[in-house]
């Protein structure tokens, strides 16, 4: 039953996100960078990353702690809703003061800085409100909310494009207004379900006790944010022409973010499902195995396609002043997209550890990953600029994913499936063979279509995906 629920909601989530979010990232966001140039967009990207890294102050781990807790005990939402909202309001004030002060002291443009910070405050509230809906297992509504801000943003940006209001200011304003509309919808739904739930005999926790319980999640969120987003800030500190290199780096990260949306949706569904299974003492291995196998197939396909066809893709998607910029962007793109493979596994196994409440070990792993990221960035960025940052990012993601996987194998007694590993290697070799057959075709979109079709067919022939079992899971009424 749990696997059938996972597959059905995954299909809905992926369908909505494949329609909306790629349009935002690959059309709207990309077109803004093409129109304004790498340096202008790079300045915006630096401010954006400051707002994202400082995000830890906004949440302090409340979202993940709340999602896992509500999934296993719905009464937690009823008893703690008001106190958590108040806590997040207080944290928002602290966030605006601290992040705003850092940005102002760094000479960032004040109007842009304020809009991006306020937008992050609104997004933080949306994510908390969505965690309640997700924890209550209203997955369809959560799926719609997951794309609502990007849908509204697309509409507003198109209005600005057609009225010739094309600037970083209007781009940030569109995101702010879109997030505000999504917040109103999410808040209405929370009030509705709050009133529908029966009164609970539980006593609500104080703000201090809630924050104390969520602090380990907060530390994890902060450490992962630092090693994931810190590359851009380190380039700003270490390079004299940081805006240009950050702009080139942003081109690749945009496509990684678009790919990661697929994996992030797995995590959003898996967390409440894992939490409920663990609370009931059920075996989580079948669900974890199915999710990890699906993700590894997708990530290997996307990463290999980006690595093999990277230059053609970057040339089509972006405007470059010269061949040197195209070559530099392509080299960064190859490494950044390879990060998708370990990151996909992180979304399964770190989510499982989060549902288990094994945050202490994850924090240790994140500290190790942050130290690896910092040391490699210090060594590589001054000499290799954005390419060095991409190498550091790839190494960091691999280290963290291996640590999380190893911990899950120990906790949940997973067994290493050498047959599956061998089939994955054959899958990659076969894809490389397909590349050599089709690379001479003149149309890159036809090449990618054929490559994608091969990636769909090969797992069936290699018996990596059992179609009959998937259909049975989807249709069965019993586990």
pLDDT digits (tens, 9 = 90+) for 321-365: 777 778 888 888 888 999 999 998 998 898 888 888 788 898 899
Q: How confident is the model at residue 184 (pLDDT cuts 50, 70, 90)?
A: very high
Looking at residue 202, its pLDDT comes to 55
- Distances from the Cα of 98 to the Cαs of 44, 91, 117, 123, 376, in angstroms? 19, 10, 11, 18, 28
472 belongs to a structural domain: no
433 belongs to a structural domain: no
Q: Locate tokens 């999934």: which residue?
A: 71
Looking at residue 394, its pLDDT comes to 92
Higher pLDDT pick, 314 / 39? 314
pLDDT of 313 above 60: yes
161 belongs to a structural domain: yes
Q: Write out the residue range of the structural domain in which residue 38 sits.
A: 2-415
Distance CA 450, CA 444 (A): 10
CA-based torsion, 437, 295, 402, 50: positive or negative: positive
pLDDT of 107 above 50: yes
pTM, whole model, 2 decimals? Answer: 0.69
470 belongs to a structural domain: no
Tally of domains within the chain: 1
128 belongs to a structural domain: yes
132 belongs to a structural domain: yes
Six-digit token string for 212: 């104390």
105 belongs to a structural domain: yes
């Amino acid at each position: 039953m749990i696997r059938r629920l996972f597959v059905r909601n995954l299909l809905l989530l992926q369908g909505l996100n494949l329609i909306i979010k790629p349009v935002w990232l690959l059309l709207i966001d990309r077109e803004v960078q093409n129109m304004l140039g790498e340096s202008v967009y790079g300045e915006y990207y630096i401010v954006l990353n400051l707002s994202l890294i400082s995000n830890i102050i906004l949440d302090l781990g409340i979202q993940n702690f709340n999602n896992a807790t509500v999934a296993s005990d719905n009464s937690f939402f009823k008893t703690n809703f008001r106190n958590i909202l108040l806590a997040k309001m207080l944290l928002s004030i602290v966030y605006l003061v601290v992040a705003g002060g850092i940005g102002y002291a760094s000479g960032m443009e004040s109007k842009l800085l304020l809009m991006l910070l306020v937008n992050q405050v609104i997004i933080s509230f949306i994510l908390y409100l969505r965690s309640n809906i997700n924890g209550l297992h209203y997955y369809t509504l959560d799926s719609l909310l997951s794309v609502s801000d990007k849908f509204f943003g697309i509409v507003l940006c198109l209005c600005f494009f057609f009225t010739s209001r094309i600037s970083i200011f209007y781009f940030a304003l569109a995101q702010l207004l879109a997030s505000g509309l999504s917040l109103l919808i999410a808040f209405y739904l929370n009030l509705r379900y709050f009133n529908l739930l029966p009164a609970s005999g539980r006593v609500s926790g104080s703000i201090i006790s809630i924050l104390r319980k969520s602090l380990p999640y907060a530390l994890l969120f902060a450490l992962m944010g630092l090693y994931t987003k810190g590359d851009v800030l380190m380039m700003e500190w270490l390079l004299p022409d940081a805006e240009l290199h950050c702009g080139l780096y942003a081109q690749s990260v945009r496509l990684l973010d678009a790919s990661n949306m697929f994996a992030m949706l797995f995590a959003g569904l898996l967390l409440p499902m894992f939490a409920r299974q663990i609370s009931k003492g059920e075996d989580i291995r079948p669900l974890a195995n199915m999710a990890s196998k699906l993700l590894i197939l997708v990530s290997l396909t996307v990463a290999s396609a980006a690595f093999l066809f990277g230059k053609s893709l970057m040339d089509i998607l972006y405007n470059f002043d010269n061949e040197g910029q195209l070559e530099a962007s392509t080299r960064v793109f190859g490494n950044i997209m390879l990060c998708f493979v370990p990151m996909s596994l992180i979304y399964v196994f770190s989510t499982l550890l989060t549902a288990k409440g094994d945050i202490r070990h994850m924090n240790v792993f994140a500290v190790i990953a942050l130290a690896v990221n910092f040391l490699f960035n210090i060594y590589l960025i001054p000499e290799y600029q954005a390419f060095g940052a991409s190498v550091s990012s790839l190494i960091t993601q691999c280290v963290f994913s291996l640590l999380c996987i190893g911990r899950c194998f120990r906790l949940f007694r997973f067994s290493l499936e050498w047959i599956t590993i061998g089939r994955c290697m054959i899958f990659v070799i076969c894809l490389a063979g397909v590349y050599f057959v089709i690379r001479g075709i003149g149309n890159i979109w036809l090449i990618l279509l054929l490559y994608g079709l091969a990636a769909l067919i090969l797992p069936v022939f290699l018996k990596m995906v059992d179609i009959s079992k998937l259909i049975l899971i989807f249709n069965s009424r019993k586990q």
